[in-house]
Amino acid sequence: MTTEAPTAPDETVDVVVIGTGPGGEDAAARLARAGLDVVAVEARLVGGECPYYGCIPTKMMVRASDALAEARRVPALAGRADVEPDWAPVARRIRDEATTGWDDTAAVERLEAAGGRLVRGRGRLVGPGEVVVETADGARRLRASRAVVLNPGTEPAVPPIDGLAGTPFWTNREAVEAVAAPASLTVLGGGAIGCELAQVFARFGTAVEVVEAADRLLLADEPEASDLVAARFAAEGIGVRTGARAQQVTHDGSGFTVHLADGTQLVSERLLVAAGRRTDLASLGVASVGLDAGARTITVDDRLRAADGVWAVGDATGHGAFTHVSMYQARIAVADILGTGDERADYRAVPHVTFTDPEVGAVGLTEAAARDAGLSVRTGTTDLASSSRGFVHGPGNEGLIKLVEDADAGVLVGATAAGPAGGEILAVLTLAVQARVPVTELQHMIYAYPTFHRAIETALADLADG
């Protein structure tokens, strides 16, 4: 609810940070530690989506479901293991260790220890340097004399499917709060959230069907990585319907029915909507500082400046919806606000890892994106399972490394490492893309035997073969 905004500021401070996702929280603390008077405005929980509903609790789920999968591989490797999945330890770890019962006291104390203050409420810009916060006690007006930092993050997007609104569907938030694995689950969306959570619940015994509108899972990744994940999903009994359109959703006492355009009806106890994210820029009042309230993202320059006296960081800037991007941007914005550095944001080597099994790590451009950018592209690929380490590893060894070279420049502009430890293999490839290490240099270095990352050498040989 929006109450009438006070016309005079209740308080003038140096910086107001609206939204404390990982980037906003980090920026507020850094600016406060630098001696500025900082107020952070947060409508929900300090720390944002990542610690309470995103990265951390979902990776605890993944850790647990990976443990089950590894235990199920014991018969092929080491004897007998009776596996009886139980969601209770997962729910307990998420509640007690990850989120402390979805309580942000520790984060608020961290902010205050840095010298910042929190105003709990929903903030909106009402003009340059002017912020109104709707708190439980009414509206407060703050004036920021030096900077406003916007870090509003995203909310789950809910597609306009007939009947969906108003049903008790899950988003990532309810999935993270689950106290039991459902008997059956339909997942709408086969992106990062949909794939990670589909596999987690399936490994706990849930019958899972993934409905993806596009023609493959993990659309942002190389098609070879999508195929790998789809093959594993099939092997684990996870239903995947690509190119599928949900026309209608109904819900009754026994659960959900998703009606697909081809006439299929998917019946399940739960429905998870993981169909992308949205940011409501209009309610953030960005038009009052000259920004487009109807845009999907806040346009920022390479110092994260969005308008005079306004900086923006995080998912809302559209440079990759990842915690590491939000925090990277925060560091640069803070240096710009303080005038202590001239670092410019550079997104050539943004890594991301989707924590499915096989884990899919990727950095920079896909082959298709590199071709679209007009580069003269060479690629090199190798199968991880047939590497020495893959052979030793046995069950669960599926994976690949794919390298994308700008052949004119002789450097990698993108890479994918999918498979066991795909996200860890990615580190060296991220360095190669970031530092523009010549491919000839990569070809002449020594890769430890028998590691998974040694397969990079084989992919480089494939690249050289054209």
Ligand X SMILES: Cc1cc2nc3c(=O)[nH]c(=O)nc-3n(C[C@H](O)[C@H](O)[C@H](O)COP(=O)(O)OP(=O)(O)OC[C@H]3O[C@@H](n4cnc5c(N)ncnc54)[C@H](O)[C@@H]3O)c2cc1C
What is the C-alpha to C-alpha distance for residues 262 and 277, in angstroms, rounded to an integer? 26
Binding of ligand NAD by 45 (CB under 6 A): no
Which residues ranging from 317 to 356 are in contact with ligand X (CB under 6 A)?
321-324, 326
Could you give the string, one character per residue 268-287, with x where binding to ligand NAD holds by CB under 6 A and - elsewhere?
------xxxx----------
What is the C-alpha to C-alpha distance for residues 464 and 466, in angstroms, rounded to an integer? 5
Q: For residue 232, how many C-alpha atoms fall within 13 Å in the half-sphere facing its CB? A: 27
Residue 445 Cβ, how far from ligand X at the closest point, in Å? 28
Binding of ligand X by 99 (CB under 6 A): no
Which residues ranging from 304 to 323 are in contact with ligand NAD (CB under 6 A)?
321-322
Give the residue at shortest CB distance from ligand X.
Answer: 153
What is the C-alpha to C-alpha distance for residues 27 and 303, in angstroms, rounded to an integer? 13
Query: Which letter, b or e, does each residue of 65-88 get, where b requires 16 or more Cβ atoms within 10 Å of its Cβ?
Result: bbebbeeeeeeeeeeeeeeebebe
Compare residues 153 and 380 and give the one whose CB is closer to ligand X: 153
Binding of ligand X by 149 (CB under 6 A): no
Binding of ligand NAD by 354 (CB under 6 A): yes
Binding of ligand X by 132 (CB under 6 A): no
Compare residues 353 and 411 and give the one whose CB is closer to ligand NAD: 353
Binding of ligand NAD by 260 (CB under 6 A): no
Residues 385 and 355: beta-carbon distance below 8 Å: no
What is the C-alpha to C-alpha distance for residues 413 and 156, in angstroms, rounded to an integer? 31
Contact of residue 189 among ligand NAD, ligand X, none (CB under 5-8 Å per partner type):
ligand NAD
| Structure tokens given for 416 | 């994918």
Binding of ligand NAD by 122 (CB under 6 A): no
Compare residues 120 and 251 and give the one whose CB is closer to ligand X: 120
Contact of residue 48 among ligand X, ligand NAD, none (CB under 5-8 Å per partner type):
ligand X
Rule CB under 6 A: choose which of 5, 34, 55, 407 binds ligand X.
55
Query: Which letter, b or e, does each residue of 310-348 get, where b requires 16 or more Cβ atoms within 10 Å of its Cβ?
Result: bbbbbbbbbbbbbbebbbbbbbbbbbbbbeeeeeebeee
Residue 197 Cβ, how far from ligand NAD at the closest point, in Å? 9
Are β-strands 265-268 and 305-307 bridged in parallel, bridged antiparallel, or unpaired?
unpaired
Number of residues that bind ligand X (CB under 6 A): 36
Stretch that binds ligand NAD, among 100-108, 207-215, 339-347, 366-374 (CB under 6 A): 207-215
Which residues ranging from 146 to 165 are in contact with ligand NAD (CB under 6 A)?
159
Binding of ligand NAD by 209 (CB under 6 A): no
Residues 244 and 211: beta-carbon distance below 8 Å: yes
Binding of ligand X by 122 (CB under 6 A): yes
Stretch that binds ligand NAD, among 95-103, 189-197, 435-443, 458-466 (CB under 6 A): 189-197
Residues 245 and 238: beta-carbon distance below 8 Å: no
Could you give the string, one character per residue 212-231, with x where binding to ligand NAD holds by CB under 6 A and - elsewhere?
xxx----x------------
Binding of ligand X by 186 (CB under 6 A): no
Contact of residue 191 among ligand X, ligand NAD, none (CB under 5-8 Å per partner type):
ligand NAD
Are β-strands 359-364 and 351-354 bridged in parallel, bridged antiparallel, or unpaired?
antiparallel
- CA distance to 15, 108, 303, per residue, from 154 (Å): 22, 21, 21
Binding of ligand X by 193 (CB under 6 A): yes
Binding of ligand NAD by 169 (CB under 6 A): no
Contact of residue 117 among ligand NAD, ligand X, none (CB under 5-8 Å per partner type):
none
Rule CB under 6 A: choose which of 17, 27, 38, 41 binds ligand X.
41
Rule CB under 6 A: choose which of 116, 129, 152, 396 binds ligand X.
152
Q: What residue ranges bind ligand NAD (CB under 6 A)?
A: 159, 188-194, 196, 211-214, 219, 246, 274-277, 321-322, 352-355
Q: What residue ranges bind ligand X (CB under 6 A)?
A: 18-23, 41-45, 48-50, 54-55, 58-59, 122-124, 151-154, 172, 193, 284, 314-316, 321-324, 326
